[in-house]
Structures are given as C-alpha cells and as structure tokens.
C-alpha cells in the first residue's frame, strides 16, 4: 500500500440519553475520525479517546497532537506498507498513546482489506459469520429505573446485560435485577471504583451468579485483583489494566483474571488486539470485545475482531440505535432477534461513513498529503 493522504476530523455526536459511569455523566461523544487514502481506496478509523482523561490519560486534544505531530509523519516515512502489522512496529518507540495509535492502525487494516478485496474479519482470521452482542447500562438514579431499562433491552433481544456500578449503587441494584429477571446473563462493571476494603461487598456480589465483575479495583492494578480473584468464584474481568499482550501475560500468570475485555482502542488497535486474543487462547482464557461508547466506524472494527474464535462472551457492540439518533455509518448496524450482528463479508469494515453527516458533525478538519 502506498499512502497518499491522511485526513483527520474532530467530531461531536450527541447521545440519545445521557450515559452515567462511575466517574461522571456523558451527554455527547467527542471523537477523531481518521481517513487513510491510497490511490484507489480509503481506510477508516476512529480515535475513541474521551473529552476528559477519566478513563485513561488520553483525551481528544492529546490524541490529535500525537496523531498529527508524530504518527502521521511516521506513516509518511515509509514508501510502501505491505501489511498492517508493520504499523505497530513503526509506532513502537512512541510510549503509550494507545487510542491515537489505534485510530491509524484500524484505518490501515480497513485499507489493506479493501486493497485485497477481503473483509477485515477475514484479514484478521475471523471464523464467525455472526457475533453475539450485549448491552451496557449506565448508573441509574434508582433500582426501579434500572428495572425498566433492563426490561426494555431484554425485549429488544439482548441476552447479556452489563450494569455499571459504583459505591452506594451496586448490591441492591444487582440483587433487584437478579430477583426480577431470573437467570439472565448478568454482569457488573465497576470502572475501578472499589478497593480490597470492600471485600464484604464482593462476597455478597459473589452470591448473585454474575457472568463476571469487570475491573473492580484500580485501573493500573493486577496484584490486588489476584488477591480478590483467589477469594471469589465469580470471574474477575480485567479492562483498564490491560494495554498489551505482555500485560495480559503477567495478569494471567498472577491469577488476576479469568477473562479479559479486549477494547481495540485501549490496546492500540487491531494488531495488538489479535495478539492478546491469540495469547489468551493459548492459555485457555476466554476474551470478549468491549467498547468505548463507539460510533459505527469503531464498532465495525469491533465486529471484525469479535469474529475470532476465542471471543467467547457477548461483546459491547450494540445496535446503532442504542446510543445515537443517527449513526455515522450506512447501513446502520442492527441486531437480530437473538442479539446477533452479521459479520460483513464485503471488502473492508463493511460499512461506509455518511459523507454529509461526517461533514455536519465535524468541527475541525485537517488534511496531510504526502
């Protein structure tokens, strides 16, 4: 592939309803859309860094800086890119900044697949024609509101329900859902809101037959998670603690986790996501695909990676209508009655950005021509 041009867009899209997690309420999503142009094709990526550095240290401002001032020049330094895996090597001396790297890594996987007239799923080694998805529900004001929202999503066809929790809005909420809806596939996501001092709470949660508890302790921890996992029957899932295949190896060897949420953006792109998948598969540790309240571009990449065989649990890859009045892609992503999404078999990610909507939602645009 010969890269001719790269286009960056700062964009903002409003949520249908505000989404609350342990560190705050989100009413809109800022993101960076990336286009990588060859002579005949365009690859698309999405930088999922948030407006504020609450999930990790990256923001849309820092990612824009890293992409335009460091990563784009590195890509332009190569005359030809034969395979997307070369990008991770090219970026390897840039510390962290995983979400910035992911936007370009994913765009180049899309471009590579289009140049070779195959789907991104096939390029990655995907084996599934459909992937199962679940729904993630933000923190609610009271248990009754949560019950109503869970019921609505179950009626839409979702089988796996993830509930965001924080101190004071945890056990009673989850107990209510379990009692009211019975043996549904239920999990909790703490976004690092607890410590080992909350052991009695965790023991109570352990009685609810949860699918998993996601990242209950510090965002950069694997030691205390190992202590917690040794006490609980329920799977501990690591999210924020895992940025690379090496992080995954260390966590698994310590016994810190029984499953890993692989967020493509968090680990630096599809290249590293596949490495983590392959290593976990070799260690008999199932993985699943998390999301970043993504627009359709990022979710299309998520569908592709989730088609790999060791993605064993439903992912956070909901239908376009879950978060947005209108998604930025065509066709919109939909789920069937069994909460399954078709894995596209057309070249690339299988979805196309809507040009007029991309322009409407953009508030800054910059082109780089080689």
CA atoms within 13 A on the CB side of 154: 16
Neighbouring-strand partners of residue 161: 135, 186
Tell me how far apart the alpha carbons of residues 54 and 71 are, in angstroms, rounded to a whole number.
Answer: 23
- Alpha-carbon distances, residue 165 vs 146, 189, 216 (angstroms): 11, 6, 9
Tell me how far apart the alpha carbons of residues 229 and 246 are, in angstroms, rounded to a whole number.
Answer: 20
Q: Tell me, yes or no, if 164 is annotated catalytic.
A: yes
Report residue 92: phi and psi, to 5°: -65, -25
Q: Is 261 left (phi over 0), alpha (psi -120 to 50) or beta?
A: beta
| Burial readout 310-343 (b: 16 or more C-beta within 10 A, e: otherwise) | bbebbbbbbbbebbbeebbbeeebebeeebbbeb
Report residue 288: phi and psi, to 5°: -150, 165
Q: Tell me, yes or no, if 141 is annotated catalytic.
A: no
* Angle CA 47–306–31, to nearest 5: 15
The structure tokens listed for 254 are 């310590």
The owner of tokens 């070249």 is 347
Q: Which residue of the set 98, 263, 274, 275 is catalytic?
A: 263
Q: Which residue of the set 10, 122, 162, 164 is catalytic?
A: 164
Chain centroid to CA 87: how far?
20
Chain centroid to CA 281: how far?
19
Neighbouring-strand partners of residue 237: 214, 259
* Angle CA 48–134–106, to nearest 5: 30
The structure tokens listed for 30 are 């800022």
Q: Which residues are catalytically annotated?
A: 164, 263
């Amino acid at each position: 592939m010969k890269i001719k041009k790269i286009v960056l867009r700062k964009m903002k899209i409003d949520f249908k309803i505000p989404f609350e997690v342990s560190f705050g309420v989100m009413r809109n999503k800022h993101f960076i859309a990336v286009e990588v142009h060859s002579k005949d094709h365009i690859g698309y990526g999405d930088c999922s860094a948030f407006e504020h550095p609450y999930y990790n240290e990256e923001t849309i401002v820092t990612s824009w800086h890293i992409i335009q001032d460091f990563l784009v020049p590195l890509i332009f330094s190569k005359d030809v890119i034969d395979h997307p895996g070369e990008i991770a090597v090219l970026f390897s001396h840039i510390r962290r900044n995983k979400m910035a790297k992911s936007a370009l890594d994913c765009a180049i996987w899309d471009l590579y697949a289009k140049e070779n007239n195959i789907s991104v799923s096939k390029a990655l080694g995907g084996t599934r024609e459909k992937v199962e998805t679940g729904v993630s529900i933000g923190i609610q004001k009271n248990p009754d509101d949560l019950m109503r929202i869970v019921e609505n999503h179950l009626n839409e066809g979702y089988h796996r329900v993830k509930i965001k929790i924080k101190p004071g809005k945890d056990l009673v909420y989850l107990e209510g859902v379990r009692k009211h809806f019975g043996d549904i596939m239920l999990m909790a996501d703490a976004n690092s809101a607890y410590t080992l001092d909350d052991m009695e709470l965790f023991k109570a949660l352990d009685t609810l037959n949860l699918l998993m508890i996601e990242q209950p302790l510090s965002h950069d921890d694997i030691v205390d998670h190992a202590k917690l996992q040794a006490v609980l029957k329920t799977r501990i899932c690591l999210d924020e603690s895992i940025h690379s295949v090496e992080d995954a190896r260390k966590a698994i060897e310590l016994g810190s986790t029984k499953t890993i949420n692989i967020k493509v953006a968090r680990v630096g792109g599809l290249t590293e996501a596949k490495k983590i998948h392959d290593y976990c598969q070799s260690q008999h540790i199932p993985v699943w695909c998390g999301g970043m309240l993504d627009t359709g571009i990022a979710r299309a990449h998520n569908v592709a990676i989730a088609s790999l065989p060791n993605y064993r649990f439903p992912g956070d890859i909901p239908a376009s209508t879950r978060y947005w009045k209108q998604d930025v892609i065509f066709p919109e992503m939909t789920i069937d009655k069994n909460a399954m999404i078709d894995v596209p078999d057309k070249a690339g990610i299988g979805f196309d950005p809507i040009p007029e909507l991309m322009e409407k939602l953009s508030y800054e645009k910059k082109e780089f021509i080689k």
